[in-house]
Amino acid sequence: MPFRPRVLEATLAVALVLAGSLVARAVDLAGLANEPLGPGEAFRPASAGRVEAAAAKLRAALGPLDRLLARSPSGAKWKTYLDWPELQRQAASGSNVDAATLRRLFTRLDSGENGLEMPQFAAVRRAVGGYLDAVDAASNPQAAEVYLQRLDRLAAAVATAAATGTPEPLEPVGPLLARLEDTGQASGAVARIRSALGRPNLYLEVDESLLARGVNRPVHEASPINDVVLGTRVRGSGVTDGRVRLDFVPSDSRAVVDIALDATNLSDTKGSQGPVTVRTLGTTQVDARKRMLIDGERIVALPVEAHASTDTRTAGIGVNKRIGQRLIRKIASRKVAEMRPQVEAIAEGKARARVRERFEEQTADAITRASSDYETRFRRPLIERGWYPELLHLHTTQSRLCATARKALPDQVAAFTPPPPVDPDAVLSARVHESMVNNTAEITLGGRTITQQFVEEQLKKNNVKLPPALENDRDQPPWSITFAKRRPVALDADDRRVKVTVRGSRYTSGDREFPAMDVWAAYRIEPGHPGIRLVRDGDVQIYPPGFVPGGPDKLSISETSLRRILQKRFNKVFKEVIDVEPLKLPGELAAAGPLPMEQLDARKDGWVAVGWRKPYPMVYESNPGEIIVSREPTLAAAAGTAVIEAAFGAR
């Protein structure tokens, strides 16, 4: 029963993106708002030990950056720019650090130069900032006042968020918590707030029936039999019919996925010894399972479990001797009956061994490649880019593969409420909190300058056509945007509405330079014909940060000019009506789609729920053959890849 391993890899690909650690029970935000923050936690000047701990964090952060720069062609220039020897000296100084020098080094790390947004640079920047905070808490006579101000701002943000049920008031909370942690202050209050604002911000579910479309296959194989059983040569033929199927095994601690074979072998054989030839009809029931355990660290494949049960019956006994045929046949019949249990046991053992060996052989390479891909194409790239979620937990139910994730750096927060329910008929669903999108965008784009040339080069490199919205008119010079350091691209969810904001701290058009400007568009979620559509609520809005339309302030000439330029471009980006197209599935699972989007819900607490249904009942049809698993990539791989790219930006 030959086995094609590519679908095994594809099935694992979905699991690869969905592994990790267990979710803790969160504190309720409303309850937290009714409690005083930091009761009994008075300000304590940072000790020399606290300052030394901050220095140790900086030394630890310098290691990954040093390794990155060592393999970078521009590493030497970066070290010159950062004043690397001085950075190392200050990191080694502990409580004897020169605060003024450290502040100068921080300014360089926070200058907004392209490349400084990379996670290795960002980690050093955060460590230097924490070091400065610890030094300040140890020596600044106004540190106690700063501490109380931070607690007041935290309390106000938490109370407002609890009263409104929206995440917007929580924007300053992440940096405030990071500063308190860096200085070792109000550990109890910080822990309670982290618990309330540290819920998972991504939930993914894939139905077994969807992935099974690429795995489930009929098995049909006819093969000759030529064997020796208890010293007797046996010849004949056997026909095996059965099915290979994907099977999710319920597990709360990890994903457990089986590739199972259920088959029946019908054999017709003749065995001769001396003058006697016995014709035997046999029926062997075979089932085998290759189990894979997938968590946040690795894929573990267990040995194949195989079982076989054989029943035989004698279809005839021939005697090639003229004299004494009746007696010989009688003796042979008795002997066959006596030996039947032993023969059946031997047949069962050989069937088990054969199936176990074949399954192991056929799946070994696929599992090895999948394990390697998990590390080299998923974990390592996400870790290097700073996109790997701090919490990532995978589990399976009887019919679903589920993932729970949280992405939030120490100066960021995650969800504060549980997610909305998912469409029970969805075969593929994602529940994404706006904090997942915003945190990842901040890591990727915060402070970064993107030029038109860079975008065009990246699209060309990946063989992607430039979208019309990014094309320049003939009279338009090349453009660039420097994104804001905080919330450079932000998703804001409301009840049945979503708002997307692009925050630029600097724009250029040709040789002209323009100041900061925020661009946003709000969309209503409405039923389409068919499906779902997004309808823009009014015009694209473009104003400087903090500007109140209709207020006493007026736009400058430069701001008005930039507003016209951005209006022309972003009107192409934010279309008036967006019809959500069904999700096309690649490869062998294209026949399972396109999947219509039947759920797109948004709530004011920041959650967006998306669900795709199957367009018709899934009926597995295939021409019988020697195929157990397809060699072609399937939706399992596509779903896994799409999830990473959407949630974490993997490529």
36 and 3 within one domain: no
User: Does 328 reside within a domain?
Assistant: yes
Percent of the chain with pLDDT over 90: 41
Phi-psi region of 166 (alpha: psi -120 to 50; beta: other; left: phi over 0): beta
pLDDT at 249 over 60: yes
pLDDT at 460 over 60: yes
User: Does 458 reside within a domain?
Assistant: no
- pLDDT-wise least confident of 188-202, 259-273, 423-437: 259-273
120 and 43 within one domain: yes
- pLDDT-wise least confident of 103-117, 374-388, 434-448: 374-388
The CA angle 374-376-380, to the nearest 5 degrees, is 95
User: Does 426 reside within a domain?
Assistant: no
Q: What is the mean pLDDT of residues 169-176?
A: 94
The pLDDT score that the predictor gives to residue 572 is 83
The pLDDT score that the predictor gives to residue 250 is 97
Q: What's the gap between Cα 97 and its chain centre? A: 41
Half-sphere exposure of 251 (CA within 13 A, CB side): 21
User: Does 211 reside within a domain?
Assistant: yes
346 and 262 within one domain: yes
98 and 11 within one domain: no
Interval 428-457: pLDDT, tens: 999 999 999 999 999 989 988 988 888 888
Three-state DSSP state, 582: coil
- Pick from 166, 196, 226: which residue ends a domain? 196
Neighbours of 152 (CB within 10 A): 11
242 and 126 within one domain: no
When comparing pLDDT for 358 and 591, which is higher? 358
Query: Which range marks the domain in which residue 138 is found?
Result: 29-196
13 and 42 within one domain: no
191 and 47 within one domain: yes
227 and 146 within one domain: no
- pLDDT-wise least confident of 103-112, 289-298, 583-592: 583-592
293 and 208 within one domain: yes
In the block, which residue shows the tokens 């106690």? 144
pTM for this prediction? 0.83
Strand boundaries in 397-509, DSSP class E: 400-406, 426-433, 449-451, 479-483, 489-494, 497-509
User: Does 226 reside within a domain?
Assistant: yes
User: Does 417 reside within a domain?
Assistant: no
137 and 244 within one domain: no
Look over the chain and give the mean of its residue pLDDT values, rounded to a whole number. Answer: 83
Amino acid identity of residue 423, one-letter, is D
Phi-psi region of 650 (alpha: psi -120 to 50; beta: other; left: phi over 0): beta
Q: What is the mean pLDDT of residues 228-238?
A: 84
User: Does 348 reside within a domain?
Assistant: yes
Amino acid identity of residue 376, one-letter, is T
- Dig out the tokens for 342 from the structure: 């032993």
User: Does 586 reside within a domain?
Assistant: no
Burial class (CB in 10 A: 0-12, 13-18, 19+), 527: exposed
Neighbours of 211 (CB within 10 A): 30
CA nearest to 211, candidates 363, 11, 367: 11
User: Quick check: bond before 624 cis, omega within 30?
Assistant: no
The pLDDT score that the predictor gives to residue 66 is 95
- pLDDT-wise least confident of 104-113, 405-414, 638-647: 638-647
What CA–CA distance (Å, rounded) separates 172 from 156? 10
Percent of the chain as helix, strand, coil, to the nearest 5: 40, 30, 30
Percent of the chain with pLDDT over 70: 88
Decide if 4 contacts 630 (C-beta within 8 A): yes
- Pick from 196, 214, 246: which residue ends a domain? 196
- Pick from 196, 222, 243: which residue ends a domain? 196
Burial class (CB in 10 A: 0-12, 13-18, 19+), 106: middle
- What are the b/e assignments for 497-526, b being 16+ CB within 10 Å? bbbbbbbbbbbbbeeeebebbbbbbbbebe
357 and 264 within one domain: yes
- Dig out the tokens for 513 from the structure: 């330079």
Amino acid identity of residue 27, one-letter, is V
215 and 121 within one domain: no
The pLDDT score that the predictor gives to residue 21 is 33
Q: State the total domains in the chain.
A: 2
